[in-house]
Structure 1
Amino acid sequence: MAGNGRLTTHVLDTTHGRPAADMQVELMMVHGDHMHRLFSGATNADGRLDQPLLDGDHFQLGTYELHFHAGAYFEGLGLPGDKPFLDVVPVRFIMSEAAHYHVPLLVSPYGFSTYRGS
């Protein structure tokens, strides 16, 4: 079902208290044991993507997974010490109605949190 839904995200770097600019993000549609990539891009200076991940005729109900490339982001900052504990952070979720889904990620090199925002 396509509809009037919309999917967006943004990433906050909780270690530095700022948006995570230039983090790679991928959106996958999940079909059982298989995934199909729908989007790949990087966050802007506000930690957001320049366009919705899905909207309009591209929006479909189903199971999706966002892949946030946190390890490469933190390595790119040149932080002292060991490599980050986190590498790619997967967030799997189900969109069951045509609505606005906002899936933010709050992330540090060692932990993360997410929720369905508005």
Structure 2
Amino acid sequence: MSTETTASVSTHILDTSVGRPAEGVAISLSARGGSDAQWQALGGSATDADGRCKDLPALPEGTTHVRLDFETEAYFLKSKNQQAEAQQDAPANRDSGATGAFFPEVAITFAVTPGEHYHVPLLLNPFGYSVYRGS
């Protein structure tokens, strides 16, 4: 697979409620070749201790759109008690619902161009998130 005919993707997650990387978040990668094409699940991985996901599957040739699905609910359930200890009035302890996450999953879809690398960081907290094209 030539890097001139395919795009590549990487990501990382920062939990802005505690100012630390989000470890252990499952991420799934899907791709399609055109706006009318069906999504093809390519596989996934999970973030490491630095919040990075370095081993996402390669994109097939002809990919025009990519979707990253972040499974944030399990992360917030696991870290809810840790956040409470770190912050006495942590937002995760207030009205985030039964699961501890207002956004139990985050799906980010973006367009890609062959030969380009796309680093898409997720800034995450129990009540919001932000993404951008990084470098």
Of residues 99, 104, 115 in structure 1, which corresponds to 2:121? 104
* Residue in structure 1 matching 2:40, options 13, 36, 39: 36
Q: Which residue of 1 aligns with 2:70?
A: 68
The answer to which of 96-105 and 1-10 deviates more is 1-10
Paired residue type of 1:46: D
Q: Which runs of 5+ in 1 are unaligned?
A: none
Q: Which has the higher strand share?
A: 1
Instruction: Answer yes or no: is the 8 Å Cα contact 1:24–1:68 preserved in 2.
Output: yes
Provide the rounded CA distance (Å) in 2 between the counterparts of 1:33 and 1:50: 27
1:16 counterpart SS class? coil
Give the structure with the higher percent helix: 2
Aligned length: 116
| Alpha-carbon distance, 1:72 to partner | 1.5
- Once the two structures are superposed, residues 43-79 of structure 1 have per-residue CA deviations (whole angstroms, 9 ceiling, x without a partner) of 0000012325437xx5653111000111221111134
Q: Which amino acid aligns with 2:24?
A: D
Partner secondary structure for residue 72 of structure 1: helix
Name the counterpart of 1:89: 106
Distance, in Å, in 2 between the alignment partners of 1:7 and 1:111 is 23
* CA distance 1:117–1:60, shift in 2 (3 Å): farther
Q: 1:87 is matched by which residue type in structure 2? A: P
Equivalent pair of 1:2/1:60 in contact (CA under 8 Å): no
Aligned to 1:24: 26
In structure 2, stretches of 5+ residues that fail to align are: 82-92
**TM-score when scaled to structure 1?**
0.84
Q: Which is worse superposed, 60-69 or 46-55?
A: 46-55
SS at match of 2:80: coil
Q: Which protein shows a greater Rg?
A: 2
Structure-2-length-normalised TM-score: 0.74
Give the percent of matched residue pairs that are identical in Structure 1 and Structure 2.
Answer: 34
